[in-house]
Structure 1
Amino acid sequence: METQYELDYRRVADAIEFLKLNYKRQPGLEEAAAHVNVSPFHFQRMFKDWAGVTPKQFLQYLSIEHAKSILKDKQVTLFDTAMETGLSGTGRLHDLFIKIEGMTPGEYKNGGEQLQINYNFVQTPFGTLLVASTYKGVCYMAFADDSEEIALGKLQSRFPNATYQHLTDQLQQDALYIFTQDWSRLNEIKLHLKGTAFQLKVWETLLKVPMGGLTTYGRLAGSLNNPNACRAVGTAVGDNPVAFLIPCHRVIRSTGEIGQYHWGSLRKNAMIGWEASKALAEAL
C-alpha cells in the first residue's frame, strides 16, 4: 500500500513533469494543482515542503539556460585542486565525507560467499530505496520501483552466495542522513564497492561534483586524462551501484539538456532541482 510519503513524492514528480512539458505557456498554480488532483493551497504547501521553493522557482533550476550557466561557471574549477582540498558549505560533502573502498577479489569471489550483507528499505524524497551494507560500508543503493522483492532479488543476483540479514546498521544510517540532516555535521559515509579500477576512478571523480553542480561525460573523461573515453565513462556511470550518493544524476548533456538516467529521467529532474534548491538555501 502506498504511504503518504510515496504519494506526496509521486504527486510532486507528476507536477514536475507537467510543468516541464508545459513550461512555454507558463501554467499557473491552479492548473498544476488540478493536474495532481489537490487544492492549490495544499499543492503549494506540499511542493514547498518537499523542495523548499515554489514550483515556479523549482522549474527555473531545470531549464537549459540554468544548466548551461552551471556548466560554464564550473568549466575551469570543477575538478581542480580547490575541490580536492575542500570547499565551504554543501559543496564539501562529496569531497570530504564520502569515502570509497574497493572490494578485494577475495571479498566477492564465488558470488560473495564471504560477505555478510545487511539491508533495509527506507523512504527518501525520491521514493523507496533499498540500502545494503557490508561490515566495511554501504555496498548498494537502488530504488525499489517495482517491488521490494524484485529490488532485493537484483541485489542478491550481484552477490548470490552472500549471507543476507534484514537489518539497519550504523553504516546505512550515516549514508541516509544525507537526505535529512545538517550536512556540515554528517559522519563520514563509507562505501564498499565491487568494481574495476576504471569504474572506481569514475565513481570517485563523480563525488567531486558538488551538490547543485552539473558536469558532462566529456568533462568526466577529461578529468581522467582520457578525453576519448566518453563512451567508457558513460558505461561506468550507468553501472554505478549506489543511487544518489554517487551522483550520476549530475551528469547531463553538453547542450544543457538533462538527458537520460538509470532510475528515470523524471527522477533525475527531481534530484537536480531538489539539490539546486538546497544548495541555494545554504548559500543565502
Structure 2
Amino acid sequence: MNTSHAYTYQQIARAIEHLAGHYQQQPTLAELAERASLSEFHFQRLFTEWAGVSPKKFSQFLTLEHAKAQLRRGVPLTEAAYDAGLSGTGRLHDLFVTIEGVTPGQFKQAGAGLVMHYGVFDSPFGAYLLGVIGGKIALLQFIDETNQPETLLQTAWPEANHQHNPAALETLAAQIFPVAGTLANRPNQPLPVLLRGSAFQLKVWEALLKIPEGRLVSYDQIAESIGQPSASRAVGTAIGSNPVGYLIPCHRVIKKTGLFGGYRWGTDRKQAMLGWEAARTVGEL
C-alpha cells in the first residue's frame, strides 16, 4: 500500500468536509489549506492533482443545487446501455462489472469451504480491503478506525478460509484504481464480482451498476427501476449493506431532496467520490 497516497486523501478529506459544510459561504483557499495543514500553494497543487479541478470548481459539485439538477436530469436505469464492455454511454472512465450471486447453499454456509485471498491497497479515497474468491471480487471495503480488515473479513465471509496474499491481487487492484488516474491498466474484460446476498439485495446491487459515472439517482428511482416503487426504505437498507464499494456504486445514490445522505464508509468519502467523478466527466480546469 502506498502510504503517501493514503495520507494525501486524509488531507484532502479534511478540506472536502469543510467545503461540503460551508459551500454557501464559499470558503477561501486559505481556509481550506489550513484544514489540510498545508500552505496555500501546496494545497492548491495537491488538490488539483487529486481532483483534476481546482478546489473552487470542485465545490460546485458538492452543492445542493448541483445535486438537484442531476436528479432532474434523470438516468433511465431500466434502459441503461452497455456498449463495448463499458457501462453507460461514452463513459470511458467507468469500469464494466459483472455480478454473480453465490448459491443458496453457499449463502447459508457463509463461505465455508471457500478460500478468500485478501490484501490492503491504496486508492484516491484512502486504503481499502480487497478480497477475492476464485478470481472474483467478493469484498471491497474502505478501512478506517472503526473498519479494520479482520473485522470486515469476519463480518462479510465469516466461514471462508482467509489468506493474506496481496501480491496475488496487485494486478487486479491496479485495474480497479489505475496509478495516477490513468486508464492504461483498465481491463479489456469485465471485472467479475461474487456477491453473498439475498435475491432482493442482488437485484438492488445490479441496478446500481446502471448508474453512469458522474451521475446521481435517488433511492426512489432505484426502487422504481426494480419494479418495487414502494420499497425505497428496503432499497436504502440493501444499498447500505453493499459489500463491494466503488465498483458497485452505491455512492451515486442520494436523497430525493438532493441531500447526499449517509454512506457506509463515511460521508466525507462519499462526497470525495462524487466530486471526483463529476470532475472527471464534466469538469474543466
What's the counterpart of residue 234 of structure 2? 232
Whole-angstrom CA distance in 2 between matches of 1:6 and 1:233: 31
Whole-angstrom CA distance in 1 between matches of 2:104 and 2:80: 34
Whole-angstrom CA distance in 2 between matches of 1:126 and 1:165: 24
What's the counterpart of residue 126 of structure 2? 127
Whole-angstrom CA distance in 2 between matches of 1:171 and 1:197: 29
What's the counterpart of residue 276 of structure 2? 274
Could you say if the C-alpha distance between residues 47 and 116 of structure 1 is closer, same or farther in structure 2, counting changes exceeding 3 Å? same
Could you say if the C-alpha distance between residues 145 and 137 of structure 1 is closer, same or farther in structure 2, counting changes exceeding 3 Å? same
What's the counterpart of residue 69 of structure 2? 69
What's the counterpart of residue 166 of structure 1? 164
Whole-angstrom CA distance in 2 between matches of 1:257 and 1:82: 24
What's the counterpart of residue 218 of structure 1? 220
Q: How many residues get paired? A: 278
Q: CA deviation at 1:104?
A: 1.0
Whole-angstrom CA distance in 1 between matches of 2:177 and 2:223: 29
Query: Deviations along 1:189-236, whole A, 9 cap, x unmatched?
Result: 110111111110100000000110100110000011110011111111
Query: Deviations along 1:130-168, whole A, 9 cap, x unmatched?
Result: 0001004111111120278x3223212333332121113
What's the counterpart of residue 49 of structure 1? 49
3-state DSSP of counterpart to 1:213: coil
Whole-angstrom CA distance in 2 between matches of 1:4 and 1:136: 29
Contact 1:174 1:188 in 2 (8 A): no
| Cα RMSD after superposing both structures | 2.6
Could you say if the C-alpha distance between residues 36 and 158 of structure 1 is closer, same or farther in structure 2, counting changes exceeding 3 Å? closer
Superposition pairs of residues 24-39 of structure 1, within 5 angstroms: 24-39=24-39
What's the counterpart of residue 91 of structure 2? 90
3-state DSSP of counterpart to 2:94: helix
Structure 1: state its 5+ residue gaps.
Answer: none
What's the counterpart of residue 258 of structure 1? 260
Q: CA deviation at 1:254?
A: 0.7
What's the counterpart of residue 140 of structure 1? 139
Structure 2: state its 5+ residue gaps.
Answer: none
Q: CA deviation at 1:114?
A: 1.4
Q: CA deviation at 1:49?
A: 0.8
Q: Does 2:183 match 1:182? A: yes
Whole-angstrom CA distance in 2 between matches of 1:41 and 1:159: 45
Identity value in percent? 43
Task: Considering Cα pairs closer than 8 Å and 6+ residues apart, tell me whether 1 or 2 has the greater RCO.
Answer: 2
3-state DSSP of counterpart to 1:45: helix
Residues 26-35 or 190-199, more deviating: 26-35
Contact 2:141 2:243 in 1 (8 A): yes
Whole-angstrom CA distance in 2 between matches of 1:159 and 1:224: 27
Q: CA deviation at 1:175?
A: 5.5
Whole-angstrom CA distance in 1 between matches of 2:80 and 2:251: 23
| TM-score, reference length from structure 2 | 0.89
Q: Read off the aligned partner of 1:89 and give its amino acid letter.
A: G
3-state DSSP of counterpart to 1:106: helix
Could you say if the C-alpha distance between residues 170 and 24 of structure 1 is closer, same or farther in structure 2, counting changes exceeding 3 Å? same
What's the counterpart of residue 112 of structure 1? 111
Q: CA deviation at 1:69?
A: 1.3
| TM-score, reference length from structure 1 | 0.89
Contact 1:116 1:164 in 2 (8 A): yes
